[in-house]
Amino acid sequence: MKYIYPVCIYPGDNSGYTVIVPDLPGCVTEGETIADALEQAVDAASGWVLDELEDGKNAPEPSRPEDTKADEYESGIVSVIMLDIDAYAEKYGNKAVRKNCTIPAWLNTAAEKAHLNFSQILQTALQERLHLG
């Protein structure tokens, strides 16, 4: 799934740029350069849309760029960003990924007798090992 959303880019007071994605309420980011700001906007907007989709909602319909106005400041400009939601979801989504692993038979027997959840234990161990939890 790919989406193209218009964005409004505004120069900062001293440096950097702020980017607003008008079709995604509250989706605002910034960067030191226009390139960095647009890259940050793609990341922020992709996360915004992925959250909606994972909650069972639809992504907002993108506005037409020619209908979008950067009117907060006279120096604002309108551009577009492209979101590749499938690639973003593969990297950051909550969708479960099936993994196959091998353990000794005796350990499998003992774990099954104890009614252990193999997936939960693996997730917890990985989070601890990666210092994510």
The beta strand positions in 1-133, using DSSP E, are 2-11, 17-20, 28-31, 77-84
**Strand order from edge to edge, sheet including 77-84:** 28-31, 17-20, 2-11, 77-84
The overall average pLDDT reported for the chain is 90
Longest dimension (CA), the chain: 71
Sign of the torsion angle spanned by Cα atoms 78, 80, 81, 84: positive
The pLDDT tens digits for 30-74 are 999 999 999 999 999 999 999 999 888 999 999 999 998 887 556
Per-residue confidence (pLDDT) for residue 74, from 0 to 100: 67
Residue-range domains of the chain with CATH: 2-92 (3.30.160.250), 97-133 (no CATH)
Taking residues 11-35, what's their average pLDDT?
A: 93
pLDDT of residue 114: 94
pLDDT tens figures, 65-124: 999 888 755 688 999 999 999 999 888 877 666 778 889 999 989 999 999 998 889 989
Select from 59, 88, 68 the least CA-distant residue to 7. Answer: 68
